Amino acid sequence: MKKLVLLLFLASALFAQDVPKPAESDFLIHNFHFRSGETLPELRMHYATYGSPQRDADGRVTNAVMVLHGTGGSGQQFVRAEFAGELFGPGQLLDSTEYFIILPDNVGHGKSSKPSDGLHARFPHYDYDDMVAAQHALLTDGLKVDHLRLIMGTSMGCMHSWVWLETYPTFMDAAMPLACLPVQIAGRNRVWRKMLMDAIRNDPGWNNGEYKEQPRAIYTALDLLLIAGSAPVQMQAKYPTRDQADAYLAEYMKTRSAGLDANDLLYAVDSSRNYDPLPKLEQIVAPVMFVNSADDFINPPELGIAQREITRVKRGKFVLLPITDQTRGHGTHTIAAVWKQYLAEVLNESGPNSAMTVGSLSATAGTPAAATETAPACGAPPSNELKIIKFVEPRFAGGAITRGSVILSGMVDEAGRLHNLDVVTGHPFIAGPIIEAASQWIVQTYCPAGKPANAVVLVSTDWKNNQLVTDIRVDTDTKHSTKKSRR
């Protein structure tokens, strides 16, 4: 047994050091109709794969995993040590000898059909629904895959995961969206994207998409992409002097501008224009492990959106990764070592031996009956005074301005989900991580029969002895004030 474990360890280490190239191919979709009303006689979907499909007695594929890339990327972005080297090797979570791993280049990206192939600005104006429809055609018609063990996605692929969960709710056993929000692109996230698109369209050199050389606006676009995708802590550590920072920027521009096409980038950024999974979150039935990082400029945790909206997903869990030496801002989504323990969790929850399967859950929004029936019975909470010490958020250790306390007030319903949380006192900046911690703790601690209905939940957190000490009180005294502090 020890010898087998050693061999697996050595094989995984070699896989991580020299990630093997996947098999690559194209699938042509004939007469593809876009939501805009436009069509293409042939839509090319390029893809890469590891492993091979396995089928059960009914011919259903049981081991397919699809991983979806971000804006401007391709499936090849996962073929590197930080991702494939952590997940696809022998004995790893998505061992490619056991799983059939599919890495598509999405419409407008990589080696799939895109504006720069020749149509330029006459290329159909695709959106996320079109991209997901093409992915579905690739799976079902091209690869004969009728079911996914798991769908994963990063950034744009994260948003595609939400579209999949609502459009094809029983197609997958589980989903893991990384680095996005399940709401339409708005606020600052929309503003910087609009700035990028306007820079290209307003550049005379763009010439309505019929340019002979790349317009200068692509450098403005790269400036915005750099700010949106970078991590300030890591950049300060790597480039601590002015000259180092300037040298990095020059090299970034040289490397990223090579091969970049303005029309391709414009179309890719614009494709998010109709994205909005918010109204149908209750219809999602698959287990969802939703992960963001605290240093993500594009999806900042202080918005509180992820923490709030995941409560509407029946079997959803949100994890906010704290800032560490390993996180890389928005790009943390591809650093598997930081979050792979949560991948293991959702695979375990959604596996063949799990208590509930997607098919056993009602698709009716807000109906937790299946979970209630399978959960063990329990009595009332052991105490109204509940005290715990949660994990330490490393980002709180560095500055006195985040020390102190925050108290949140809200309601917990019969499903153990928190609603209407307000900051009673304390700094709102640290409220988001505390809401996430409290939500996870309450759901994990109370089995359904013991969850108090319409009780007030008070969550208070103090910095003590270099730890965040969190007190959670389920209070039946509804006279307690929930009014926000104006501090």
Tens digit of each residue's pLDDT (9 = 90 or more) over 415-429: 444 455 455 444 444
Q: Is residue 105 part of a domain?
A: yes
Q: Is residue 480 part of a domain?
A: no
Same domain, 263 and 408: no
Alpha-carbon distance 415 to 34, whole Å?
40
Indicate the pTM of the whole model.
0.73
CA distances from 76 to 23, 103, 455 (A): 11, 8, 49
Q: Which residues contact 187 (CB under 8 A, 6 or more apart)?
A: 303
Same domain, 118 and 133: yes
Tens of pLDDT along 359-409? Answer: 333 332 232 222 222 222 323 333 333 333 332 233 333 332 333 344 455
Is residue 43 predicted with pLDDT exceeding 70? yes
pLDDT tier, 16 (very low <50, low <70, confident <90, very high otherwise):
low
Q: Is residue 483 part of a domain?
A: no
Domain span at 392? 375-475
Last residue of a domain, one of 247, 270, 293: 270
Identity of the highest mean pLDDT range in 194-203, 324-333, 366-375 = 194-203
Is residue 15 predicted with pLDDT exceeding 80? no
Q: Is residue 368 part of a domain?
A: no
Q: Is residue 482 part of a domain?
A: no
More confident residue, 374 or 472: 472
Where residue 12 sits, what CATH number does that domain have?
A: 3.40.50.1820
- The mean pLDDT of the chain is 79
3-state secondary structure the chain: CHHHHHHHHHHHHHHHHCCCCCEEEEEEEEEEECCCCCEEEEEEEEEEEECCCCECCCCCECCEEEEECCCCCCHHHHCCCCCHHHHCCCCCCCCCCCCEEEEECCCCCCCCCCHHHCCHHHCCCCCHHHHHHHHHHHHHHHCCCCCECEEEEECHHHHHHHHHHHHCCCCECCEEEECCCCCCCCHHHHHHHHHHHHHHHCCHHHHHHCCCCCCCHHHHHHHHHHHHHCCHHHHHHHCCCHHHHHHHHHHHHHHHHCCCCHHHHHHHHHCCCCCCCHHHHHHCCCCEEEEEECCCCCCCHHHCHHHHHHHHCCCEEEEEECCCCCCECEHHHHCHHHHHHHHHHHHHHCCCCCCCCHHHCCCCCCCCHHHHHHCCCCCCCCCCEEEEECCCCHHHCCCHHHCCEEEEEEEECCCCCEEEEEEEECCHHHHHHHHHHHHHHHHHHCCHHHCCCCEEEEEEEEEECCEEEEEEEEECCCCCCCCCCCC
Same domain, 331 and 399: no
Mean pLDDT calculated for residue range 148-175:
97
pLDDT at 411: 53
Q: Is residue 84 part of a domain?
A: yes
Where residue 260 sits, what CATH number does that domain have?
A: 1.10.1740.110
Same domain, 417 and 386: yes
Where residue 385 sits, what CATH number does that domain have?
A: 3.30.2420
Same domain, 172 and 242: no
Dihedral sign computed on CA atoms, order 295, 297, 302, 308: negative
Asked if residue 173 lies in contact with residue 358, where contact means CB atoms within 8 angstroms, the answer is yes
Q: Could you give the count of Cα atoms lying within 13 Å of 367 in the half-sphere of its Cβ?
A: 11
pLDDT at 313: 95
Asked if residue 180 lies in contact with residue 159, where contact means CB atoms within 8 angstroms, the answer is yes
pLDDT at 262: 98
Q: Which residues contact 188 (CB under 8 A, 6 or more apart)?
A: none
Same domain, 164 and 281: yes
Both tokens assigned to 191: 């503003």
Q: Which residues contact 253 (CB under 8 A, 6 or more apart)?
A: 219, 222
Question: Could you tell me the maximum CA-CA distance found in the chain, to the nearest angstrom?
Answer: 73
Q: Is residue 370 part of a domain?
A: no
Is residue 333 predicted with pLDDT exceeding 50? yes
Is residue 450 predicted with pLDDT exceeding 60? no
Last residue of a domain, one of 242, 270, 298: 270
Which among 391, 381, 459 has a CA at the least distance from the CA of 420? 459
pLDDT tier, 18 (very low <50, low <70, confident <90, very high otherwise):
confident
More confident residue, 135 or 485: 135
Is residue 299 predicted with pLDDT exceeding 50? yes
Same domain, 194 and 181: no
Same domain, 224 and 345: no
Last residue of a domain, one of 237, 270, 303: 270
Alpha-carbon distance 187 to 445, whole Å?
35
Tens of pLDDT along 248-293? Answer: 999 999 999 999 999 999 999 999 999 999 999 999 999 999 999 9
**Lowest mean pLDDT segment, chosen from 77-81, 82-86, 130-134, 350-354:** 350-354
**Lowest mean pLDDT segment, chosen from 42-46, 55-59, 103-107:** 55-59
Same domain, 177 and 125: yes
The number of distinct structural domains making up the chain is 3
Percent of the chain with pLDDT over 70: 69
Same domain, 181 and 198: no
pLDDT at 465: 52
pLDDT at 325: 87
Is residue 474 predicted with pLDDT exceeding 60? no
Same domain, 291 and 260: no
Same domain, 196 and 178: no
Identity of the highest mean pLDDT range in 198-212, 319-333, 347-361, 469-483 = 198-212
Residues β-bridged to residue 425: 407
Q: Is residue 412 part of a domain?
A: yes
